[in-house]
Amino acid sequence: MADPVLSMTGIRKAYGPVRVLEEVGLTLHPGEVRCLAGENGSGKSTLIKILSGVVPADAGSVTIAGQTIGADARQAIAAALSVIYQDFSLFPNLTVSENIAFLKTTAGGERWHRARADRRLARETLARMRVDLDLDMLVELLPVASKQLVAIARALANEARVIVMDEPTTALTRSEVARLAEIIAALKAEGVAFLFVSHKTEEVFAFCDTITVLRDGQVVAEGPTSAFDAARLGCEMTGRAIDTQRLARAAPVAAEPFLSVRDLARKGDYAGVDLDLRPGEVVSLVGLLGSGRTELSLSLFGMLHPDEGTITIEGRPVRFTDARDAMAAGIAYVPEDRLTEGLFLDQPIADNITVATLSSRGFLSRSALKKRARDAVQRLRIKTPGVEPTVATLSGGNQQRVVLARWMERSPRLMILNGPTVGVDIGSKREIHEILLALSRAGTAVMVVTDDIGEAMALSDRVLVMVKGRITGAFDADAVDEDRLYTEITGGGRG
């Protein structure tokens, strides 16, 4: 076998008393695609930050393409490593070719001359990937899947031999995932190696040759993907067996709807929507990116205004001017993107959880608030030594739970969750589903907006399918299977 293009040995890292990585080792050979798996907070992103030189290790060494790396990100890039983060770090107001050539372009030179060189490099790189993109398109106008391709192209244009992707495919559809798999296969053949972090089991098995599993900062399993199946992977990650079946439940009690929608329409987003959300019931709204699912849910929360139709709460028509009105009516909305939602990253976990509690519960003492925060941390199993550290010290999946905790604190009558488990590991997904089901059975109406069919099936009583702004199907979750739903959300048979 060829020499590894990347090797990490004996990596250790602690933040104060919190030991994040202990004696972690990992190798990657040219043309290998390795999955780095592990629960939220197991140390994946930290390992990647050490790899790219963003964060120094306490001990251990990193060798990339034969060069040992110091704590300097530029050195890592020079040594042919490229990390693609979840937001892809592209420049939205530059074109495809400018983005691809960005790292490679040297300052100076005539503008037109540089533009030509950029285009040539971009064209050649996309050809290597066998991808066809409009070089002059502004990146902000591209769909997510194409942005991701631009990010990969930029890494390749910079002669990356190792490409690291930290949760790259949050918003891709199955066909886009398949295309990414083809591109990865083509680049593997050229000897490019990938390190891939994902909480989506399907993708891990579609892309990866080998798997390294981290649990509490230690490598607990390592080997070829063929030695794993979803059950073993879940088990290695969590140390226990993970159930992926539909949650056991009592049938929802028939109740009058809390919120009803009739013939709701908003130009360009959705039309003709009828919807009933009842206390004690979990309803999923599934649809692809661009189906109108997010616009519809924002309209129920007062953040967008419908042009036509009615919304009633307990039979009374309502018209929300903004989110505050909706909150006053007992509605909570957990948005898709925790980072734009306004977590206060540099504030304590406790304050982030209880920020809204004050107004909804009258006066509570500081210590009472703290106790509430501690209870929430425990209930949602947020991985932290206490409620004092800032949210910035939490891993991605644990930040997501803080957002959930904050909204649950308000004891809403209707809880709308957009992508509640994006970035959450498979074991914890199950826990969050159980929490939401319990919330619903305690009398809250729950609506989950998702493109994760498995999630909709595991969690809901009813599944509504949204295609191109219309609700095109409604199913009893007991009586439908994943393939059927997949055909429905991709508009199969309807053209």
Given the rule CB under 6 A, which residues bind ligand ATP? 15, 18, 20, 38, 40-46, 383, 393-398, 425
Return the number of the residue (394 or 432) whose C-beta is nearest ligand ATP: 394
CA atoms of 210 and 2, how far apart (whole Å): 16
CA dihedral in degrees (203, 241, 433, 338; nearest 10)?
Answer: -50
Burial of 31 (0-12, 13-18, 19+ CB in 10 A): middle
Shortest Cβ 46–Mg ion spacing (Å): 8
* From 41-49, 141-149, 211-219, 465-473, span contacting Mg ion (CB under 5 A): 41-49
Site for Mg ion in 193-212 (CB under 5 A): none
Which candidate, 172, 244, 228, 246, places its Cα nearest to that of 37? 228
Return the number of the residue (16 or 108) whose C-beta is nearest ligand ATP: 16
Contacted entry of Mg ion, ligand ATP, none for residue 330, CB cut-off 5 to 8 Å set by kind: none
User: Is there a contact between 184 and 193 (Cβ–Cβ < 8 Å)?
Assistant: no
Contacted entry of ligand ATP, Mg ion, none for residue 393, CB cut-off 5 to 8 Å set by kind: ligand ATP
CA atoms of 120 and 123, how far apart (whole Å): 5
Shortest Cβ 150–ligand ATP spacing (Å): 23
Contacted entry of Mg ion, ligand ATP, none for residue 97, CB cut-off 5 to 8 Å set by kind: none
| Total residues belonging to the chain | 495
Return the number of the residue (46 or 299) whose C-beta is nearest ligand ATP: 46
Residue type, 476: D
Shortest Cβ 476–ligand ATP spacing (Å): 33
Return the number of the residue (42 or 82) whose C-beta is nearest ligand ATP: 42
Contacted entry of Mg ion, ligand ATP, none for residue 357, CB cut-off 5 to 8 Å set by kind: none
- Out of 30, 168, 330, 396, the only residue in the binding site for Mg ion (CB under 5 A) is 396
Contacted entry of Mg ion, ligand ATP, none for residue 458, CB cut-off 5 to 8 Å set by kind: none
Measured N-to-C along each axis, helices 174-189 and 144-157 cross at an angle, to the nearest 10 degrees, of 10
Helix (H, G, I), strand (E, B) or coil at 439: helix
The count of chain residues that interact with Mg ion, using the rule CB under 5 A, is 2
CA atoms of 397 and 377, how far apart (whole Å): 13
Shortest Cβ 18–ligand ATP spacing (Å): 5
Strand partners, 485: none
Shortest Cβ 48–ligand ATP spacing (Å): 8
Return the number of the residue (51 or 467) whose C-beta is nearest Mg ion: 51
Return the number of the residue (234 or 287) whose C-beta is nearest ligand ATP: 234
Strand partners, 62: 8
Contacted entry of Mg ion, ligand ATP, none for residue 15, CB cut-off 5 to 8 Å set by kind: ligand ATP
Contacted entry of Mg ion, ligand ATP, none for residue 42, CB cut-off 5 to 8 Å set by kind: ligand ATP
CA atoms of 225 and 211, how far apart (whole Å): 6
Return the number of the residue (34 or 161) whose C-beta is nearest ligand ATP: 34
Return the number of the residue (387 or 447) whose C-beta is nearest ligand ATP: 387
DSSP for 155-208, please give it: HHHTT-SEEEEES--TT--HHHHHHHHHHHHHHHHTT-EEEEE-S-HHHHHHH-
Give the pair of three-digit tokens for residue 126.
């996309």
Contacted entry of ligand ATP, Mg ion, none for residue 444, CB cut-off 5 to 8 Å set by kind: none
DSSP for 359-383, please give it: HHH----HHHHHHHHHHHHHHTT--
Shortest Cβ 117–Mg ion spacing (Å): 36
* From 125-133, 286-294, 394-402, 483-491, span contacting Mg ion (CB under 5 A): 394-402
CA atoms of 284 and 442, how far apart (whole Å): 18
Shortest Cβ 433–ligand ATP spacing (Å): 17
DSSP for 86-144, please give it: TTTT--TTSBHHHHHHTTTPPS-S-HHHHHHHHHHHHHHHHHHTT----TTSBGGGS-H
460 binds Mg ion per the rule CB under 5 A:
no
Contacted entry of Mg ion, ligand ATP, none for residue 46, CB cut-off 5 to 8 Å set by kind: ligand ATP
Shortest Cβ 395–ligand ATP spacing (Å): 3
Shortest Cβ 43–Mg ion spacing (Å): 9
How many Cβ atoms from other residues are within 10 Å of residue 464's Cβ? 23
399 binds Mg ion per the rule CB under 5 A:
no
Contacted entry of ligand ATP, Mg ion, none for residue 406, CB cut-off 5 to 8 Å set by kind: none
Helix (H, G, I), strand (E, B) or coil at 429: helix
DSSP for 287-306, please give it: --TTSSHHHHHHHHTTSS--
CA 107 to mean position of chain CA atoms: 35
45 binds Mg ion per the rule CB under 5 A:
yes
Contacted entry of ligand ATP, Mg ion, none for residue 38, CB cut-off 5 to 8 Å set by kind: ligand ATP
Query: Rule CB under 5 A: which residues touch Mg ion?
Result: 45, 396
